[in-house]
Structure formats: structure tokens, C-alpha cells
């Protein structure tokens, strides 16, 4: 018999805690969680990176980063929880804004699928088209929000 004031759970039942079981693990922030917290800063960073790739004629990477920048801009304007797995630009736009002009919607649909890197597929003309559409969408997003703005032509 045990004279101590024990709850009856002891001995072998406490052994797992010795090895770290039963303890809550603190989650480290992954990159996707950090982008959820700071989507506007991430959008600016992605846009600058896209412009840099675009100017150095690395069109594959430029296309990816233009798209990611728009995704982060849209996330910055969404209210409430948005899953980090939500990547569809059109769906994000609908969550962020009530009315999306047809021209903006068409641009989003055009840019939407270009989020995986495919080496040397994109031509200069295609990258020009992506850049113009992305700039048009970003400018429209800026016009809809008083706090979402940054330089679209960084030096």
C-alpha cells in the first residue's frame, strides 16, 4: 500500500512521461504558417523577386513569383481563416472582394494554374502577358483596399 496522497495513477503509468510522451509539443512555424501571418510583406517580397527574374529573362521563375505575389495580396484582403492549402486565385478573390470585374476575373483564371516550376517552358512573350495581367490585378487589388499597396516597379 502507498501512504502518499496519490490519485491512483502512478508507477508504470508515469513512465511514458519520462520519455517525452504525454507532453504537448510546440509546433515550430513552417514557411506556410509565416506567410499566413504576413501575407502583405510576402506579396511585396515575391513581387520584387518576380521583377528581378523577369528583368534577367528567367521567365519560368518570374511567372511563379508573380502568381505567388497575387496569392499573398488576395490573402491579405481576406477576412477570417483561409487555409494555407487554398491556392486558387479565383476562390481567394471571391473571399476577399464582393465584386470582381470580368477583366480581373479573366486575368486571375489565366494566371491561376502557373504555380509549379516547369523549366524553360515560358517564352518572353508569355512572361510579358503574365506580367501585364499580374500588374493589372495588383493595381485593381490596391484600388479596393486602403492598406494594401506597394511599388509595382521596384528598382
Q: How confident is the model at residue 90 (pLDDT cuts 50, 70, 90)?
A: very high
Consecutive H or E run containing 144: helix 124-144
pLDDT digits (tens, 9 = 90+) for 112-133: 887 665 666 778 899 999 999 9
Q: Tell me the per-residue pLDDT of 23-74, one tens digit each, with 9 for 90 and over.
A: 444 444 444 444 445 888 999 999 999 999 999 999 989 999 999 999 999 9
Average pLDDT over residues 2-6: 51
Check pLDDT > 80 for residue 106.
yes
pTM score of the predicted model: 0.71
Which residue segment(s) compose the domain that 69 sits in?
Answer: 37-144
Predicted pLDDT of residue 65: 94
Residue 123 placed within a domain? yes
Task: Tell me if 29 is assigned to some domain.
Answer: no
Is 43 a domain residue? yes
Coil, strand, or helix at residue 119? Answer: coil
Residue 102, in any domain of the structure: yes
pLDDT value of residue 120: 65
- Asked, for residue 59, whether it belongs to a domain, the answer is yes
- Any domain includes 150: no
**CATH code for the domain in which residue 120 is found:** 1.20.120.330
Q: How many structural domains comprise the chain?
A: 1
Full DSSP string of 49-116: HHHHHHHTT-HHHHHHHHHHHHHHHHHHH--S---TT---HHHHHHHH-S---HHHHHHHHHHTT--S
Amino acid at each position: 500500500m502507498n501512504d502518499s496522497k496519490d490519485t491512483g495513477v502512478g508507477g508504470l503509468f508515469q513512465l511514458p512521461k519520462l520519455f517525452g510522451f504525454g507532453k504537448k509539443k510546440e509546433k515550430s512555424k513552417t514557411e506556410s504558417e509565416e506567410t499566413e501571418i504576413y501575407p502583405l510583406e510576402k506579396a511585396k517580397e515575391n513581387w520584387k523577386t518576380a521583377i528581378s527574374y523577369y528583368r534577367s529573362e528567367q521567365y519560368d521563375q518570374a511567372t511563379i513569383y508573380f502568381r505567388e505575389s497575387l496569392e499573398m495580396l488576395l490573402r491579405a484582403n481576406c477576412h477570417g481563416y483561409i487555409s494555407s492549402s487554398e491556392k486558387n486565385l479565383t476562390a481567394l478573390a471571391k473571399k476577399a472582394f464582393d465584386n470582381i470585374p470580368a477583366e480581373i476575373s479573366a486575368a486571375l483564371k489565366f494566371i491561376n494554374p502557373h504555380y509549379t516550376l516547369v523549366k524553360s517552358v515560358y517564352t518572353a512573350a508569355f512572361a510579358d502577358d503574365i506580367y501585364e495581367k499580374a500588374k493589372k490585378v495588383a493595381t485593381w487589388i490596391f484600388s479596393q483596399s486602403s492598406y494594401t499597396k506597394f511599388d509595382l516597379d521596384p528598382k
